[in-house]
Amino acid sequence: MDKIEIEEDDVVLALSDGVTDNLWEHEVVTNVVESMNKWKSGAAETGSDKGKSSQADGMRFVAQELVKAARVIAEDPFAESPFMERAIEEGLAMEGGKLDDISVVAALVRRRKI
């Protein structure tokens, strides 16, 4: 088990291998940052009434955007993916993404108000 220190405003992700098989780490980070910025600017469709978006809605939006990005690669037989790269390193002739379960939970670290 690894332990890391977190700080307020960190985004914590729990994701399945369907994400990491299809997106490189830098793509995950870029997607999360862009999704957060889109949500903060009010340009994100979160399903809530306009102007009433909560932090939970924002994290749901971030998770959904990451799922969409991984799915695009998973369904593309010609995409370059971490799965394809690892398969080639093992001597397997593989191309494209990997169809797999794709699950993401995103959380924003906040200090509890007592």
CA distance 6 to 46: 26
pLDDT tens for 29-74 read 999 999 999 999 988 766 655 556 799 999 999 999 999 999 999 9
* pLDDT for res 31: 98
Alpha-carbon distances, residue 64 vs 11, 82, 83 (angstroms): 14, 20, 21
pTM of the model: 0.86
- Residue 113: the pLDDT is 84
Confidence band, pLDDT 50/70/90 cuts, at residue 5: very high
Q: What integer is the mean pLDDT of 83-102?
A: 92
